[in-house]
């Protein structure tokens, strides 16, 4: 192995992107520009990092694998617009970056085993973020971009779409990675809403309602939400309690959460 090679580690969920055509297409979708603030999560061996830095943008990267730190420093440490943060992105305090509101552009080829909790961690900091471009498992992107009425519509779809506009940009086959994963991947763009289209009185109650509703997604709302709302309270929110959760849109779930918020028993 050369000084800039590293074997992917299963425990970190590493699959390194190597296809030049796919790399170029991702960089074109991001379209980074000089003066922008970028954050790359899990840069690996720097497949995307080089192109992001060449834009002139200020780039922070977060890398967990200690063995990759000298590789990344060796390749990019001499550049003024590069800063390396070693650590776990799931525990990272994004306020450390001192980015202006709605300025941070987040990029990542995310390990499949942490993608969902990491997206939720980022959404907790949505006020800092301008947009996010992620490589994810294709089925996760399909769930993120899903519409009501189908099997992909669920907790992930609703909570991400509450905060963001979602665009499924394009798919990427296993051959673009080393080692090749056993699943297809896709690129998604998430753009946080500056003004929420359906603001809830308490987004924690929205999370609770959605979680309870989809715990038994084949049952009716009257059954799945009986621990939170009575049939009368569900109807008072303008929702038919005989429907299954996948039949409701985001606005209906917000109405249910707001109904819960005015009940005396609504304690997060």
Residue 130 has φ and ψ, to the nearest 5°, of: -85, -45
Query: What domains lie within the chain, and their CATH numbers?
Result: 10-192 (3.40.50.150), 203-261 (1.10.8.100)
Place of tokens 């800063």: 83
- Taking the C-alpha atoms of residue 146 and residue 153, their distance in angstroms, rounded to an integer, is 5
Question: Does the pTM exceed 0.85?
Answer: yes
pLDDT, average across residues 88-113: 92
Taking residue 19's Cβ as centre, other Cβ atoms within 10 Å add up to 16
H or E element in which residue 251 lies: helix 250-261
DSSP labels for 39-95? EEE--TTTTTHHHHHHTT-EEEEEE--GGGHHHHHHHHTT-TTEEEEES-GGG--GG
164 within 8 A of 215, measured Cβ to Cβ: no
Check pLDDT > 90 for residue 86.
yes
Check pLDDT > 60 for residue 259.
yes
The helix-helix angle for 115-123 and 155-163 (nearest 10°) equals 30
Query: pLDDT tens digits for 234-249?
Result: 999 999 999 999 999 9
């Amino acid at each position: 192995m050369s000084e800039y090679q590293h074997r992917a580690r299963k425990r970190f969920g590493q699959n390194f992107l190597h296809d030049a055509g796919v790399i170029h297409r991702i960089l074109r979708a991001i379209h980074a520009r000089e003066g922008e603030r970028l954050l790359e999560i899990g840069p690996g061996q720097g497949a995307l990092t080089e192109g992001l830095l060449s834009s002139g943008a200020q780039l922070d990267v977060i890398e967990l694998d200690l063995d990759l730190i000298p590789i990344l420093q060796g390749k990019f440490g001499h550049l003024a617009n590069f800063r390396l943060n070693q650590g776990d992105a799931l525990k990272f305090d994004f306020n450390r970056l001192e980015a202006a509101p709605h300025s941070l552009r987040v990029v990542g080829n995310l390990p499949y085993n942490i993608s969902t909790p990491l997206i939720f961690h980022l959404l907790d900091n949505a006020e800092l973020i301008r947009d996010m471009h992620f490589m994810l498992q294709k089925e996760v992107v399909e769930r993120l971009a899903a519409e009501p009425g189908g099997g992909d519509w669920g907790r992930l779809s609703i909570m991400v779409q509450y905060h963001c506009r979602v665009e499924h940009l394009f798919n990427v086959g296993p051959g673009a990675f080393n080692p090749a994963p056993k699943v297809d991947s896709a690129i998604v763009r998430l753009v946080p809403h500056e003004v929420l289209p359906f603001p809830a009185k308490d987004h924690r109650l929205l999370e609770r309602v959605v979680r309870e509703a989809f715990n038994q997604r084949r049952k009716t709302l009257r059954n799945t939400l009986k621990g939170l709302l009575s049939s009368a309270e569900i109807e008072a929110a303008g929702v038919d309690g005989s429907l299954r959760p996948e039949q409701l849109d985001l606005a209906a779930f917000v109405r249910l959460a707001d109904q819960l918020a005015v009940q005396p028993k609504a304690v997060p």
